[in-house]
Amino acid sequence: MSTVQSAQKTRRPRRAALLGRHPVGILLAAPYAVFLAAIFAYPLGLAVWISFHDYFFAAPTATVDRPFVGFENYTAVLSDPEVRQSFLNVSKFLIINVPLTVALSLVLATALNSAIRGRTFLRISYYVPYVTASVALVGVWLFLFSSGGLVNEVLGPLAPDPSWLVNSGLAMPVIAVFVTWKQLGFFILLYLAALQAVPKELYESASMDGASAVRSFWHVTVPGVRQATTVVVILAIITGANLFTEPYLLTNGGGPNGASTSPVLLMYQKGIEQGSPDTASAIGVILVIGVLLISLVNRKLLERD
Amino acid sequence: MAQASRQRGGTVMRHLVLYLGAALFLFPFYYMLVGSLKKDPETSLRGLLPTGLTLDNYSQINGRVDLLQSLINSGIFTGGVILGTLVLGVLAGYALARLHFRGQGTLFAVMLLVQIIPFQLLIIPIYVMIVRTYGLADSYLGMIVPFAINSTAVFIFRQFFLQLPEDLFSAARLDGAGELRILWSIALPLVRPALLTAVLLTFIGPWNEFLWPFLVTKESDMQPLAVSLANYISNIAGRASNPYGAILAGAVVLAAPAVALFVAFQRHFTSSDLGSGVKG
């Protein structure tokens, strides 16, 4: 601590003890703190509260009775085959999306990190799906993967029947690949940042020992960016848990027969379309607990030495 | 010799993989543009060639969706979010980085926590609050409020300000400058390039956002383009005989501003700017 600051501290000891050394900081941070309370903490509490009550929409001025129902909403949700299906779908999504995301973004980031011709062009190509709206990209994918679309045209007799987006076995994998493609640029960016922190000497000594590029990738790069991998995996899982736009638009509301519904899509359908915010909130709470648990396990696994 | 040729082989491989990947990544964009300019987008390989181009689809989508009004709505939504994120986020980030006040540690911890709770969990209670309790459905305020401050942005701003040398601040304080003045005339000019990155990153969030504005807006003249295009896709796609031309034209209009901004400012979209925020 500098002498100036300690001098100030002795001059105003009581105020400093109460409000801190720079009380004006409270003023500057206040809008953010209020926002967090109003748009994060309160709704979080409200979500949990709603999930334990028989909650329905009513006019704001009306006084209505919303009795406490314990875990009733949770048991209703967990025994609903539609909800189980949606969680199963997300698991399918994650099993395809997460490994694909980690592998492709790390390999591409490593390749982009070396001396390469046209790096600006390449970076733009890989980032551009990430900066583009899902709704716009879904428009093209609908066209590409429609039953008479270009993909089937090229595949000819190999085209799946029923076609991609109306095939219950393929709808979710197509969504998983779409999201991987769309988000990959962001993860490449994260890995590029992490690669700057891997010491150059490690690569030099690996190549002195005669290690091939593949070997030094496995033994230097992969362990060197392990922390970033934890972040990438957690962010990819959160993205997967948030899945809504793609099943809503690409597979026409989670079709065929619920083969691509996601929990958030069900939250929308049940909570807002069908007016049962209580069961929808229960789905949300279960989803978040799931995400937190998977993130914790993943952290333990990846950060273990 | 053997090693040198192996290295050259590796470099060729690397280029091949990267350029093939890039072609695969860009292809849907090319297809979007070409398809939007054809009277009846063909699905055969011939449809890939840019022949027989017309702006027909653009006037067709404009007939179904008021493109100008939707773009204005997207602009107001995005502008409001950027303004809130910048002003309130910079204030909070500065306070967290350079000042010491009561509750600072708690605020920092909450800020980190918020980033792992998906917003989607909160859609039901926030919908209840904003639409039912405060009656902000079909209003710009209702669209903007949940996104008005972004915790990730606060975190990144804090990182920017942390990187500045402390001497700068103690000297200014010795001269009797107030904190707002220090922030405005000393700290902000120094982090200006980073602020531009933050604006670009903030832009793509609300511009591309679908779920929340979709929930708040039921009147079509309040809907941002992402919402009105999505409604067009989900309502018309089943009925029209060949709806893709109009869909692709709408997609181009929605994608163009974000892509153009990104390409124009892509050198600010770098790993070092972002990385400082992520590495913590």
Please name which of B163, B164, B187 lies closest in space to residue B276, comparing C-alpha atoms: B163
Which range among A140-144, A199-203, B258-262 shows the weakest confidence by mean pLDDT?
Answer: A199-203
What pLDDT score does B241 carry? 63
Those of residues 279-298 in A touching chain B at CB distance below 8 A are 280-281, 284-285, 287-288, 291-292, 295
- Average pLDDT of the segment spanning A41-56: 90
pLDDT for res B280:
31
Residue B273, pLDDT > 60, answer no
Chain A residue closest in CA terms to B85: A32
What is the residue-averaged pLDDT of chain B? 85
Q: Does any CB of chain B come closer than 8 Å to the CB of residue A140?
A: yes
Lowest mean pLDDT of A131-135, B155-159, B270-274, name the range: B270-274
Cα gap B168→A253, rounded to integer Å: 56
pLDDT of residue B252: 96
Banded model confidence at residue B257, pLDDT cuts 50, 70, 90:
very high
A193 closest CB neighbour out of B133, B208, B271: B271
Assess contact for B269 and B197: CB atoms under 8 A. yes
- Which of the given ranges, A62-71, A208-217, B172-181, has the highest pLDDT on average? B172-181
Q: How far apart are CA B139 and CA B213, in angstroms?
A: 10
Higher pLDDT: A11 or B26? It is B26
B278 at interface of A, judged by CB pairs closer than 8 A: yes
> Is the CB of A25 less than 8 angstroms away from the CB of B263?
no
pLDDT of residue A1: 41
A81-303 homologous superfamily: MetI-like (1.10.3720.10)
Q: What is the pLDDT of residue B120?
A: 76
- Quote the CA–CA distance of A185 and B56 in Å, as a whole number: 33
pLDDT at position A191 over 90: yes
Residue B47 contacts residue A151 (beta carbons within 8 Å): no
Identify the pLDDT of residue B277: 40
Mean pLDDT, chain A, integer: 87
A:B CB pairs within 8 Å: 326
Q: What's the rounded mean pLDDT across residues B151-170?
A: 88
Q: Count of CB atoms within 10 A of residue A202's CB?
A: 15
CATH of B76-279 among 3.30.1360.30, 1.10.3720.10, 1.10.940.10, 3.40.50.800: 1.10.3720.10
Portion of chain A with pLDDT greater than 70, in percent: 93
Q: Which of B18, B19, B100 sits opposite A25 (nearest CB)?
A: B100
Q: What is the mean pLDDT of residues B214-237?
A: 90
Question: What ipTM score was computed for the predicted complex, to two decimals?
Answer: 0.88
User: Does A23 score more than 80 pLDDT?
Assistant: yes
Burial (CB < 10 A; 0-12, 13-18, 19+), residue B35, is buried
User: In this complex, do A47 and B6 lie within 8 Å of one another by their Cβ atoms?
Assistant: no
Spatial CA neighbour of A259 closest among A169, A179, A178: A169
Nearest CA in chain B to A117: B15
B30 at interface of A, judged by CB pairs closer than 8 A: no
The radius of gyration of chain B's CA atoms, rounded to the nearest angstrom, is 24
For residues B270 and B221, the model is more confident at: B221
- What angle separates helix A42-51 from helix A277-303, to the nearest 10 degrees? 120
Chain A positions in Cβ-Cβ contact with residue B47 (cut-off 8 Å): 150
Q: Per-residue pLDDT averaged across B192-217, rounded?
A: 89
pLDDT at B270: 65
The pLDDT score that the predictor gives to residue B276 is: 43
What is the tens place of the pLDDT at every residue in B63-90? 888 899 999 999 999 999 999 999 999 9
Give me the pLDDT at residue B80, please.
96
Q: What is the pLDDT of residues A127-165, one digit of tens each?
A: 999 999 999 999 999 989 988 888 888 888 888 888 888
CA distance B92 to chain A (A): 4
Q: Which of A3, A22, A39 to mutate to test the interface with B (most CBs of B within 10 A)?
A: A39
Contact assessment for residue A143 and residue B31, using Cβ atoms and an 8 Å cutoff: yes
- What CA–CA distance (Å, rounded) separates A251 from A172? 9
What pLDDT, on the 0 to 100 scale, is given for residue B2? 56
pLDDT tens-digit profile of A251-273?
Answer: 888 878 889 999 999 999 999 99
Whether residue A3 is predicted with pLDDT greater than 70 in this model: the reply is no
- With an 8 Å Cβ cutoff, are A245 and B230 in contact? yes
pLDDT at residue B62 above 60? yes
User: What is the pLDDT at residue B201?
Assistant: 83
Is residue A57 over pLDDT 90? no
Of A10-19, A293-302, B92-101, B249-258, which range is least confident? A10-19
Are B173 and A4 within 8 A, CB to CB? yes
Task: Give A11 to chain B, closest Cα distance, Å.
Answer: 15
pLDDT tens for residues A215-228? 888 888 898 898 89
Structural domain spans, chain B: 76-279
pLDDT band at B275; cut points 50, 70, 90: very low
Q: Looking at residue A2, what is its pLDDT?
A: 47
CB atoms within 10 A of CB B13: 12
DSSP H helices in chain A: 3-11, 13-19, 24-36, 42-51, 72-78, 81-113, 119-131, 134-145, 150-155, 171-195, 200-208, 213-216, 222-224, 226-241, 245-249, 263-266, 277-303
Contact A271 B129 (CB under 8 A): no
